[in-house]
Amino acid sequence: MPGLTQQDKLINYASVFVYNPKLRQDFKDYLPSVSTFENSQIFPIGTASKFQEFIRMSDEQQRQALEAKDKAEDTIRLLFEIVKKVQGDAKLVTFALLMIDGILEERRSRIQYLVAIQRSVKKDRKEDLIAILNSFLWSNTQSTMEQRDLATHILAQLIEATQYRHCESQARDFLNWLLEQRGKYQVSKQAYTFALMYLLKTNELAREFERSGGFDIFSGFLNNDCINEHQVAYNVIAALWIISYHPFALKRFEDYSLEIIERSVKILDYFNKEKIVRVVLLLLDNLKQQSEGCHEIMSDIGVLNTIVKLQNRHWVDQDITEMLERLYDYLDQNQKSFSSIEKFKKEVGVRKVLRWGPIHTEKFWQENFIHFHEKENLDLIKVLVEIVRRVNSDDREKAIACFDLGEFARFFPFGRQFLDQLGVKETLTGVMGRLGSSAELKKEAITCYQKLLMNTWTGADFKV
């Protein structure tokens, strides 16, 4: 049986082997047979011989066989029949799924064979492959994680290639199955995020994903799994890049509570693989053009500094170098608009949600303290005090407010007297003495308090 254990046989291209290499050993010398199922009349007479003919081929012979459309479709149809009808032989079903996935992974263009079967106008050639996989995922309570991973991986590609108008109901069923996985995943994170990445290429499914709280899923992944597994990180960022082209999705990127942009950029602290750097830059490059709100967030979280650090490294991929230059030029030219008093007024006076950025720095207060002679801007100081006192403000926001109040006291004439009238010292004393306050908040509160006491201030004066 030539070629049965060669490492480049098609089955070895199956996606699951990348993150579950031990599974490969289970199938290294496996010789599947469907004779029992033919004898039980589950398969027509002659099925076993056709199956064995393909399995016994060398890897090169299998590739040549798949070059012929009819032969390829017959083979794929038979493998799907195993998935659909075989019960009581989990290894055979897994083998069939591995084989289908391997055929596709070795050459992605072969997905067209599956589409041809799915959309055939000839009754004897047509088979609803999407329905088979959907049923396998929804109804098969005996399936294993590996089987569900493979079915998910294949189905996502098939739905995308079949086109939404030809499988609308089934595509929504699959997306709903994925969305229902939240908190109780029945597939690996690699397979799950890969499936979403493919489905979001379809506009209608992207819209449904956004409406159904899909960005909450991505936010969770970015904060956990993406910093531990590079392929999950790539899948999620790529999916975000795809959906970022839709105007309806921009409000999710601008949502400060989700921290999509911040967490996407944070991935670069954990992985330096070029494909991950490239897709993060593609996302940022698109968002800066699509939304001023997204550009504002990039400024807040210091994306320009990240770009400068990345420019100091050598990249084999020339696209990365070019994108870094383009992003640097754009962000540098527009940086001033996001470190101005207008930005401060918008964040403190309108949004009342604070995050570290250019307007919460010593440089900002040195350049902009003069604007607080105007009453409407001076009223913003009262908002900062309210944030420190607010029960439901998180500690980081309170820490930022403390920093700004301290800088206001340093640079604005009569700033200390104004804050004394508002009872800020008493407020800070309460913050410093509160057991539940974070270290960051306590540090900023102590620093602010000392700035209120001193006639002049230098960093050397501060001691914790």
Question: What CATH number is given to the structural domain containing 358?
Answer: 1.25.40.150
Assess if residue 261 is contained within a domain.
no
For residue 459, the 8-state DSSP code is G
Range of the domain at 48: 1-189
For 98, the 3-state DSSP assignment is helix
Structure tokens of 274? Answer: 């070029």
Tens digits of pLDDT across the chain (464 residues) = 343 444 478 999 999 999 999 999 999 889 999 999 999 999 999 999 999 999 999 899 999 999 999 999 999 999 999 999 999 899 999 999 999 999 999 999 999 999 999 999 888 788 999 999 999 999 888 899 999 999 999 999 999 999 999 999 999 999 999 999 987 899 999 999 999 999 999 999 999 999 999 999 999 999 999 999 999 999 999 999 999 999 999 999 999 889 999 999 999 999 989 999 999 999 999 998 887 788 888 888 889 889 999 999 999 999 999 999 999 998 888 776 666 788 889 889 888 888 888 889 998 999 899 999 999 999 999 999 999 998 877 899 999 999 999 999 999 998 999 999 999 999 999 999 887 889 999 999 999 999 999 865 444 443 33
Assess if residue 170 is contained within a domain.
yes
- Total domains in the chain come to 2
Structure tokens of 314? Answer: 């050598």
Assess if residue 253 is contained within a domain.
no
Q: Do 202 and 164 contact (CB within 8 A), yes or no?
A: yes
Those residues with Cβ within 8 angstroms of residue 62's Cβ, 6 or more apart along the chain or in another chain: 9, 10, 54
CA 134 and chain centroid, separation: 24
Of 189, 217, 240, which residue is a domain's last? 189
Between CA 204 and CA 91 the distance in angstroms is 36
Assess if residue 45 is contained within a domain.
yes
Of 189, 209, 237, which residue is a domain's last? 189
Structure tokens of 275? Answer: 């494909």
Of 149, 170, 189, which residue is a domain's last? 189
Which of 127, 115, 152, 118 has the alpha carbon at shortest distance from 137?
152
Between CA 425 and CA 431 the distance in angstroms is 10
Assess if residue 217 is contained within a domain.
no
Q: Distance between terminal CA atoms of the chain?
A: 75
Burial class (CB in 10 A: 0-12, 13-18, 19+), 264: buried
pTM of the model: 0.80
Assess if residue 380 is contained within a domain.
yes
Those residues with Cβ within 8 angstroms of residue 209's Cβ, 6 or more apart along the chain or in another chain: 175, 179, 196, 199, 200, 243
Assess if residue 218 is contained within a domain.
no
Assess if residue 214 is contained within a domain.
no
